[in-house]
Structure 1
């Protein structure tokens, strides 16, 4: 078994254990393999180990990988900050976008989503920790933005996403994820998704109802940013 396959199995076991500890059905938590900076060969290896959903932060790198892996039935998620001049290729080439944080971006994605494709699944990114360096709308803006995005024709609003401030304190980790869950639950919309939790804190995220956990280093190893195209 390859290293990536072994890591996928280990992370899958960790997800199942965390879900069972939280009294949840493990099938309600999905693994999103964060493949940014990883070569197409690593994605192919993960596919051969059963992984189907992959998250990318850098548009051109992602498009190159999609071309190289066009023979595989993969589901592609864009999870990085979105610039207005990048919305068309994102709308045309991805199945999910986890990082919508303002109406202008959502409107462009909706207008540029091809009619031949299913509506684009989107999550609103929320800056739950109030970090100046992080993307995301403020928690108090979520309700209004969600109503506006839910009304757009070529999008399907699925839920919320967050990248809380890093901390090794499990209580602080869980509190940040609980805040995102509460924000979703307060919305009078049929939302089924919480995209939250990474390699170091997925257990606390699952305890607070995460449905996607975004895992990179625990699957592929340390990233080499110098190798990114």
Structure 2
């Protein structure tokens, strides 16, 4: 299981090979079918959920949702009541993203849309406090400070908030609200360097935001 998701990760980062099917079609070689089996087996066999198997399961879910978004297709995921009851905040948000993706390239029914909107509002109400920093201090311009100070308690909070900031303002808004975008970039950079220790994923996200702002 662990090997399969590692192979999937390489496939996401690199151009995959192709294989010839019986009808002569050239299709990309993919470990996606294996990750589908992992998801299905974990859902049907709760006793198999060791700590490693559980970690593999959630990574497979993320890979499936990511691939579905990239290929604009409905993901092959079906979450159980046990998943919703026992998942962490981050995994709950991933599951919701999976359901939204399934609706977007699935049946697109009005009833499901309304259910997802209500669920999203409930998630915001229940978990918005998880995205609040433990310390936030504006830059002191009288001391020539450029970046504000923002501290979070965990790496997952830092990464999640940075991605939320990046996705909240599309490119079109750069022209309409340059000052707001600049503020977001400074905020991302402040989050990256002003935590307890420099975290490489946070620094990478900050660099990406600066590059996008420059473009």
TM-score by length of 1: 0.24
TM-score by length of 2: 0.25
Higher helix share: 2
